[in-house]
Amino acid sequence: MSSVDPVTQHPEPRAALPLTPRGGLDPVPGEWRRVSSRYLWVDLVGSIISGLVLTAASSVPFLLARLPGLLAIPVVVLVIAVVVAAFTPRRVRAIGYRLRDDDLLVRRGIMFQRFVAVPYGRMQLVDINRGPLDRALGLAEVKLVTAAAASSVTVPGLPMAEAEEFRDRLVELAETRRAGL
């Protein structure tokens, strides 16, 4: 089951902090490949912007009606946004992926944990997406699409070279393990 890591070029020894929270899930124990620590900034800026937008949008009722009670909504939203932003380092650290012999495992989240296993043969296509912030930091996001809408899996925050290599490796693996739909 535990295979030789198919992506051999970058044996980056990233922060070896435990991924699994106390009492959390760890269905497939082993080494996980982590995303770049620079991705922290992408995620942080993203959550700050969305937090500000949501706070602004939720304060519209207060601005219109001028009822002090309505001020509670944007305050609550702001607090949640701050908490989300504060947890960003943990969230980024919790992203991991692993290339097994026949499938790709991706894990995300500490508080809300999510594990997905996508067999290479099921991949329909592999995308590389780069946002403006990603580009500035030299990062990219690899997205795998299968025939099921729910199982599209993204691995964000990979250095560009690694992302391309990862994609090529996935396509190659998908070719050799091609299955029907």
Partner 1 sequence: MSGPVPGSRGPEIPPAAIDLADGEWHRLHPATPLLRGGFAFVAIAGFVLANLRERILGLFLGAGPGDAPPGDPIDLIVRRGLIPAALLVVLVVLIVIIVAFWLSWRVRSFRITEEVVEVRSGILFRTNRRGRLDRIQGINVSRPLFARLFGAARLDIDVAGHDANVQLAYLSGRNADALRQVILQLASGALSAGSPSAAAAEQRAAGGAAPEHDGSLSGIVAQRAREFMAPERDPRLAPPAAVVQMHPGRLLGSTLLHDRTVVFVLLVIAAVVLASAAHAFFVLFGIVPLLLGVGSQIVRRFSRSLRYSIAATPDGVRVGYGLLSTSNETLPPGRIHSVEIRQPLLWRPADWWEVRINLASHSDRQEGGRRTTTILPVGTRAEVFRVLALVLPGVVEEASRPLLEAGLAPARSGDGYTGSPRRAAVLRWFSWHRNGFALEQDAVLLRRGAIWRQLVVVPAARMQSVALHQGPLLRLLRLADVHVHTVPGPIRATLDDLDAVVAAGFFRDVAASGVAAARRESAAHLVKGARWQGMGRP
Judged by the rule CB under 8 A, the positions of this chain that interact with partner 1 are 21, 23-28, 102-103, 111-119, 121-122, 124, 146-151, 153, 177-181
Measured from the CB atom, the residue of 42 and 118 that comes closer to partner 1 is: 118
CB of 29 to partner 1, least distance (A): 10
CB of 180 to partner 1, least distance (A): 4
Measured from the CB atom, the residue of 135 and 178 that comes closer to partner 1 is: 178
Provide the CA 67 distance to its chain's centre, in angstroms. Answer: 40
Provide the CA 61 distance to its chain's centre, in angstroms. Answer: 33
Contacts of 18 (CB under 8 A, 6+ apart): none
Measured from the CB atom, the residue of 102 and 172 that comes closer to partner 1 is: 102
What are the b/e assignments for 102-125, b being 16+ CB within 10 Å?
A: ebbbbbbebeebeebebebbbbee
The CA distances from residue 137 to 21, 56, 133, in Å, are 29, 28, 6
CB of 73 to partner 1, least distance (A): 23
CB of 93 to partner 1, least distance (A): 17
| Closest listed residue to residue 43, CA positions, set 111, 139, 128 | 139
Measured from the CB atom, the residue of 117 and 160 that comes closer to partner 1 is: 117
